Amino acid sequence: MVNIKLVDPSMEYFESQLEAIHEGFPYFWNGTDNQYSAEQIKEMTDDPEEFIRTQNKFSSQEYTAPDGTKFTFERKRHWIIDTDTNEYVGEITLCPGIKDDFLIYAGTTGYAIRPSARRKGYASSAVKLSMDYTRQHYPDMKEIVICVAPTNISSEGVVKKNGGQDCEIVDAGHGFGMVKRFRIPL
């Protein structure tokens, strides 16, 4: 059993997050452990406060669907903190305002855990907390949607632990390809 909280990115956990990045925390969460580049790390460390500001913005994601249609949607990032050690263990993003059309291609929720903290239940607990947060802050949302690469058994395990059962296979296009899309009622 892990004890966690979700917080807005802040300077308090910057060093801990940097350690996670050096340890291999991925930049792009499509199931491959791709790394932050040296330039990205330099930019963060040169101006940590600006980095934290950008982490806190509702970032506008641009996306091209397989049929060429362009979408934008808003994404909010939360850091996952272990409340026993006060360390950053990973991140979970929510896209609360995502339009139903866009759900054909992507999900409302994404997550990643630093390599040394995996398989301890952090991601499953963070999804559970984010579902509580969504119920509280976005009462109009009736479900969360999580899209998982077909070979990403770790992420699929997280979905199943949170009640995701049946999935559809959809072509998420740009950067993702075919994904399993799970809908979890709130």
Decide: is 172 part of the binding site for ligand COA (CB under 6 A).
Answer: no
* Interface pick for ligand COA out of 3, 154, 178, 186 (rule CB under 6 A): 154
Is-contact 161 124, C-beta < 8 A? Answer: yes
Decide: is 148 part of the binding site for ligand COA (CB under 6 A).
Answer: yes
* Interface pick for ligand COA out of 153, 177, 178, 186 (rule CB under 6 A): 153
Task: Tell me how far apart the alpha carbons of residues 27 and 34 are, in angstroms, rounded to a whole number.
Answer: 6
Residues between 23 and 42 with contacts to ligand COA, criterion CB under 6 A:
26, 29, 31
Residues touching ligand COA, count (CB under 6 A): 22
106: its two tokens: 């992507």
Does the CA dihedral 91-94-129-147 come out positive or negative?
Answer: negative
* Interface pick for ligand COA out of 94, 103, 112, 172 (rule CB under 6 A): 112
Task: Tell me how far apart the alpha carbons of residues 85 and 114 are, in angstroms, rounded to a whole number.
Answer: 14
Residue nearest to ligand COA (CB): 157
* Interface pick for ligand COA out of 1, 119, 139, 140 (rule CB under 6 A): 119
Decide: is 118 part of the binding site for ligand COA (CB under 6 A).
Answer: yes
Decide: is 158 part of the binding site for ligand COA (CB under 6 A).
Answer: yes
Decide: is 93 part of the binding site for ligand COA (CB under 6 A).
Answer: no
Provide the Cα torsion 13, 18, 19, 23; round to 10°: 140
**Exposure on the CB side of residue 169, measured as CA atoms within 13 A:** 4
Is-contact 149 176, C-beta < 8 A? Answer: yes
- Could you report how far apart the first and last alpha carbons of the chain are, in Å? 23
- Interface residues with ligand COA (CB under 6 A) are 26, 29, 31, 110-113, 118-124, 148, 152-155, 157-158, 161
